[in-house]
Chains A and B, each alone.
Chain A
Amino acid sequence: MMGLDRDRLAELVQVVVRNPLRAFLSALGVGWGLFMIIITVGAARGLENGVKADMGSDVSNSMFAWTMSTSLPYKGYQRGRYVEMDIDDVNWLQANTQHLDLVCPEVQLGGYRGTNNVVRGKQSGAFDVHGAIAEYPQVKPMNITEGRFLNEGDLAGERKVCVIGSRVKDILFEMGEEPLGETIQIQGVIFRVVGVYTPKGNDEDAQNEAESIYIPFSTFGKAFNTRGRVGWLSMLIKDGVDAEEAEEATKQLIKARLSIHPDDPRAIGAWSMAEEFQKAELLFSGMRLISLLFGSLALLAGVIGITNIMLISIKERTKELGIRRSLGATPLRILQQIIGETLFLTLLAGLCGLVLGVGLLEAVDGYLEGGGDAGVFRHPEIDFGTVLTVLCILLGMAIFAGVLPAMRALAIRPVEALRSEG
């Protein structure tokens, strides 16, 4: 019905350009509405990106669990028992979980956030020392800048090797000194450096990470006499699994394995980045929806403006429409023409708003990429799906805007139209 060939396009352009100021003013509302949608949705996304980046170096589906003392007696055990996990429990959990992709045991010298004096020659510093496995970077992504991370050979061979954070390197090594192959002493035990990393993220956690040292979990137990004891678990939840559900199921598995009362609220602690991400995602989805809603309302105001202008235009062009009818234009052709003009004007204005909005977002993004400071605001963008949604809304509104003027045009009888003074 609404096929657009060169002739019809030429007709549309003729009608629009013969009153350019009016066309511009009526289009301004729609262009502005769409511009606002793009900017607000893009800004919401920029805020979301910034907050998520600052949420840390953990991946979005990571989860952590640790043991504490029990609060309920169970199976002959008194309340207040301090529960510990070892590597066998970790292997059992990995084999029995339905909700997790990966379970990494982790242990820290001196306990959680305990720091230790690490020495290299005359240099020394207080750093976090972790025992970890080769898969650990999947939970805690890091950029290996030199060498490598721990591997299966290191764990199986209980090698005295370590991977150090960038701050550790800066403190223990001279500027330009090659750390790979060099040794450091941790509580008197000598470890050879096999890799250097920088953490991902900008949060406080990431800064601490830069001051950490990773050694094989198996070596840790031997070197520091922890006998395979696990400090906490770092885990990855399977795709599509609800974080809350995964957390509860994992706690129950651990409780069952360690003979803890299923209703004990204290014995197992857990924290889920996935849950935090899901909450944040919900918040930002709400923000995006609100941006879209208010932007659409601004767009609607613009579209109503176009309807109004088109109604005035129909009144002014009554005679022209009568002439067209006398020359053989069917009612359908008139309907197509009026809706076509409205669509043309609306979509043209909308596209201008879209291009300007995306252009502005790109400019802001370019500024931020170039080192500009915008606080917790990063990489404002609008995805293709949102653009498509907005264009569909615009198209629907444009058709809506055209129907009323078109019906008004069709209601005019040709003979009356020819008599008019338009």
Chain B
Amino acid sequence: MLALRGIEKSYPLAGGTLPVLKGIDLNIDQGEMVAIMGSSGSGKSTLLNVLGLLDGFDEGSYTLGDVDMSGLSEKQGARYRSRFLGFVFQSFNLIAFKTALENVALPLFYQKVARRERQKRALEMLGKMGMEDRADHLPSELSGGQKQRVAIARALITSPRVILADEPTGALDSTTSQEVMQVLREVNASGITVIIVTHEADIAAQCDRTIRLHDGVIIEDGRSGEVVEPTARGANTPD
């Protein structure tokens, strides 16, 4: 479903470059629920951005479905993001002046779906998240958990094959975190691949698989709770 081969990524610095991802090899199958863990600066968010086509890479190859994602133009990147991927962010990233319904419908607007159809589907999706009675509320009128539910509804509205979640529970209390994780597990149960970047072990423990990054290298990759050496799953060996 999703394959990275020898991905290298570095950021330019004054007087040199800062390597962030160092030869990442990774396969994720359709329907997996994967946690990416690592300390701050380990490269986990950069990896998620590369997977989400929000950022490019310097070396290696990335295949999503059967399509090679190397060297995409901005326009192509936007189209593939719209077709294959949904995003959930720690800070929700809802547009403040749009209602919950409008936020959820926005990806469909960029897919040129007709207004009535868009609103119908957005309302249905909010219903699935138990948020239909908040459809006309602005983000500022919602709690953290409600915002994240709206964000998940927005991520799911285009029927993506992969949900990429960057610290989705990072801004929530533990009860709400569990509610959000329950929603993500239900999403995964419907066959959608879910990739979660987190630094919380209890969140990672609720995923099928955990990948641990350190200094831009995968150092652990295995079923959550029984992490195995990365070589056993074809991942790279740390330097």
Question: Which positions in A face B, CB cutoff 8 Å?
Answer: 6-7, 14-15, 18, 319-320, 322-333, 413-415, 418
Contact = CB atoms under 8 A, between A and B. Distances in A.
Contacts of B121: none
Contact of A328 (B49, B82, B89): B82
Nearest to A18: B97
Contact of A327 (B55, B75, B79, B110): B110
B74 A415 contact: no
B75 A7 contact: no
B154 A330 contact: no
Contacts, number: 62
What is the interface of chain A mostly: helix, strand, loop, or mixed?
A: helix
A404 B216 CA distance: 38
Given A414-B54, A415-B49, A329 B110 contact: yes
Given A415-B49, A418-B54, A330 B74 contact: yes
Given A320-B95, A415-B49, A328 B54 contact: no
A6 B114 CA distance: 11
Interface in B63-116: 74-75, 78-79, 81-83, 87, 89, 93-98, 106-107, 109-111, 115
A319 B93 contact: yes
B54 A415 contact: yes
Nearest to A333: B110
A418 B89 contact: yes
Nearest to A421: B91
Which residue, of A14, A319, A320, A415, has the highest number of chain B Cβ atoms within 10 A?
A415
Contacts of A323: 93-95
B158 interface: yes
B168 interface: no
Contacts of A14: 97-98
Given A327-B87, A330-B78, A414-B54, 12 more contacts: A14-B97, A15-B97, A319-B93, A324-B106, A324-B110, A325-B54, A326-B52, A327-B81, A328-B110, A328-B158, A329-B110, A332-B75
Nearest to B94: A323
Given A413-B55, A415-B49, A415-B54, A330 B75 contact: yes
Contact of B78 (A15, A331, A413, A418): A331
Contacts of B81: 326-328
Contacts of A329: 78, 110
A326 B87 contact: yes
Contacts of A327: 81-82, 87, 106-107, 110, 154
A206 B94 CA distance: 76
Top 10 nearest A-B pairs (CB, nearest first) are A328-B82, A328-B110, A330-B78, A415-B55, A327-B107, A18-B97, A415-B54, A414-B54, A323-B93, A330-B75
A199 B158 CA distance: 79
Contacts of B93: 319, 322-323, 326, 418
A358 to B, nearest CB: 34
Contacts of A325: 54, 78
7 contacts: A14-B98, A326-B81, A327-B82, A327-B110, A328-B83, A333-B78, A414-B54
B84 to A, nearest CB: 10
A18 B102 CA distance: 15
A329 B154 CA distance: 14
A332 B111 CA distance: 13
A330 B89 CA distance: 20
Contacts of A331: 74-75, 78
B69 to A, nearest CB: 15
A331 B75 CA distance: 6
Contact of B54 (A319, A326, A333): A326
Nearest to B75: A330
A302 B206 CA distance: 57
B149 to A, nearest CB: 17
Which residue, of B75, B78, B96, has the highest number of chain A Cβ atoms within 10 A?
B78
B226 to A, nearest CB: 33
Nearest to B154: A327
B110 A330 contact: yes
A4 to B, nearest CB: 14
Which residue, of A14, A15, A320, A327, has the highest number of chain B Cβ atoms within 10 A?
A327
A418 B88 CA distance: 12
A320 B98 CA distance: 11
A7 B79 CA distance: 20
A7 B110 contact: no
Interface in B16-74: 49, 52, 54-55, 74
B89 to A, nearest CB: 7
B123 to A, nearest CB: 16
A285 to B, nearest CB: 49
A414 B72 CA distance: 14
Contacts of B107: 327-328
